[in-house]
Structure 1
Amino acid sequence: MDKKKVTVPLVCHGHSRPVVDLFYSPITPDGFFLISASKDSSPMLRNGETGDWIGTFEGHKGAVWSCCLDRNALRAASGSADFTAKIWDALTGDELHSFEHKHIVRACAFSEDTHLLLTGGIEKVLRIFDLNRPDAPPRDVDKSPGSIRTAAWLHSDQTILSSCTDMGGVRLWDVRSGNIIRTLETKSPVTSAEVSQDGRYITTADGSTVKFWDANHFGLVKSYSMPCTVESASLEPMFGNKFIAGGEDMWVHVFDFQTGEETTCNKGHHGPVHCVRFSPGGESYASGSEDGTIRIWQTSPVDDLEGLPQNGVAAAAAKSKAGVNDLGRKVIGLQITKDRPEEEGDRTGS
């Protein structure tokens, strides 16, 4: 353990109950953003780099299990135990649409072209809503063998990926036919499934293992046994040289992608880690926990960034490193209250 680096995270308070899902937007002209889902029923939007709170989407009447942003970070979506999936204006915080379901919604995902919303949940039905015609009935794909835990798009919206709460495996669906074309076999239920930013890999966490699959040919690329039961995993998006995993031991583990060797073990959460995600530039990653906090961890010290391709995000990370302690104090002291509605959609914070 002596050789492993110790990282001090930014701690983001605000949720009053466990954080169960995290989603980073792609990099936009305004930066990148982080949305969180919590059992407190109120998804929150943050600056993805600093963790600063931007706004809270208010309207759900049950735990929110899933959240996402479209590729432009202009709209947000959330799936809830109140039997609805909602679309939100990410600039104003206004609710744009509420799609009724017959049971708990556990997963939601915008299509790559941003025109469709995919949902899934306890009903064992994948639904595709046309956001250009929100009042039209959704298209139902109703052959899921179990309650849906995760759902995602791949292959330019031609394929759907889903996993079930009560059985192993990841199912790949042809969107046109609505049929399962392939099942990626796992021993335990898959609690996290992520399509890599470049579309090459599918990263899955199924309790005892983290697996990487070829997203085009569906073969198993790598499989690593975990030091504890993990609930979520994420692959570094820029270089693909490391991945993170979090679970019941309350730690966030960093592993070498090629060897599976653990390189860092981040301690700080006071409850099981339910979700981990890399930022779109790979310079940091976020974890959400049963303790109700989000922690944002820097991937590398500034010195480690020297010599790497300086995309805008990495350069910004290096430039802002000197002020990270000030940012940490700012975020730690942040109190989100419902008597501040005028700030809910203000990205500038002014």
Structure 2
Amino acid sequence: MRPILMKGHERPLTFLKYNREGDLLFSCAKDHNPTVWFADNGERLGTYKGHNGTVWCCDVSRDSTRLITGSADATVKLWNVKSDSALFTFKFDAPARSVDFSVGDKLAVITTDPFMELQSSIQVKRIARDSSEQTGESVLTIKGPEGRISRAVWGPLNKTIISAGEDAVIRIWDSETGKLLKESDKETGHQNPVTSLSKSADGSYFLTGSLDKSARLWDIRTLTLIKTYVTERPVNAGAISPLLDHVVIGGGQDALHVTMTGHRAGKFEAKFFHKILQEEIGGVKGHFGPINALAFNPDGRSFTSGGEDGYIRLHHFDSDYFNIKM
């Protein structure tokens, strides 16, 4: 597989997101400018200028007309995908870490980091169909978990919110009352901070990556641990194939230690595991630093990785990949 190298960011990548059809790819990085690309050939379509800090996360609406981005400048912006104009800016008292549209795009869940005296929070905002009617009020605010919440996503039918972060506990909240419904078990769960959380295509289970050098697959309703994938490095990102029984995991050691090791020793490759058998089936090398973001195209025929080196690598699978026998 010859990757397509996409160089549009000057700083490390933080997040990658495909739209529902899989023809557009949105990327976030520490250089303040979320970017949109053609997903088949890696051509850059444009950037969204307006943030003054690292952009940590983004999501795109089901009809690909709206983009939502969360940034360390303590704002979340709603954009018109086509015109790169900001439709609305939600202002917070702390950096915004994670954003996720609900099914139907009428709500968005946003998490903010602990900052000065403030605790981390999970907030739900109503997204108006007409941007002129948009307000900044929160429908629900959940305060609580210790440390940073690295990711929060909607559960089935928007009835729950799943969050995970620095305290290594995965939680399910009621999205109407904010009540805590379930917590992951300390014994079977992650032992170190959870860095990433991504749902399966059908939304029935999700994958978490952690600094404890493992990724875990969970049932989204019961929070039952289904599978565990063990690697020899901290996991920063993971994604579940919508087509085959595969998951891809990426990471590497902290940026602090990167300069001391060669790129071979640094283990900067995307590793593929068999989802059911939990066995490693292959790896894709290429990045010169830890992998911070991974995403599968919704058709399952290509995937992208974003690294600390500022590059996005777009890999179209060759036919051998679809015939891997276990």
Instruction: Indicate the TM-score class for this superposition, using the shorter chain for normalisation.
Output: 0.7 to 0.9
Distance change (3 Å), C-alpha of 1:200 and 1:140: closer
Tell me the residue number matched to 1:125.
Answer: 121
Deviations 1:23-81 (A, max 9, x none): 11111xxx521111100000001112222111100000111111111111111111111
Superposition deviation, residue 242 in structure 1: 0.6
Distance 1:203 1:305 in 2: 22
**What secondary structure is seen at the aligned counterpart in 2 of 1:156?**
helix
Q: 2:206 aligns with which of 186, 202, 206?
A: 202
Q: Does 1:296 align with 2:314?
A: yes
Deviations 1:257-309 (A, max 9, x none): 1222222211111111011111111111111101001001123x136659xxx
Q: Does 1:211 align with 2:216?
A: yes
Describe how 1:247-326 pairs up with structure 2 within 5 A: 247-248=251-252, 249-299=267-317, 301-302=318-319
Distance 2:296 2:172 in 1: 24
TM-score, scaled relative to structure 2: 0.86
CA contact under 8 A between 2:168 and 2:193: conserved in structure 1?
Answer: yes
Tell me the residue number matched to 1:141.
Answer: 141
Deviations 1:181-206 (A, max 9, x none): 11123211111111111122111111
Amino acid at match of 1:210: A
Tell me the residue number matched to 2:6.
Answer: 12
Distance 1:41 1:128 in 2: 24
CA contact under 8 A between 1:125 and 1:140: conserved in structure 2?
Answer: no
Bigger drift between 132-141 and 39-48 goes to: 132-141
Superposition deviation, residue 142 in structure 1: 2.5
User: Percent same amino acid among aligned pairs?
Assistant: 30
Tell me the residue number matched to 1:312.
Answer: none
Distance 1:95 1:136 in 2: 14
Q: Does 1:186 align with 2:182?
A: no
* Count of residues in Structure 1 that have an aligned counterpart in Structure 2: 294
Amino acid at match of 1:230: V
Superposition deviation, residue 10 in structure 1: 1.0
Distance 1:90 1:104 in 2: 23
Amino acid at match of 1:17: R
Superposition deviation, residue 136 in structure 1: 4.7
CA contact under 8 A between 2:229 and 2:273: conserved in structure 1?
Answer: no
Distance 1:42 1:113 in 2: 26
CA contact under 8 A between 1:213 and 1:222: conserved in structure 2?
Answer: yes
Distance 1:268 1:118 in 2: 34
Superposition deviation, residue 85 in structure 1: 0.3
Tell me the residue number matched to 2:79.
Answer: 88
Structure 2, unpaired ranges of 5+: 115-119, 253-266
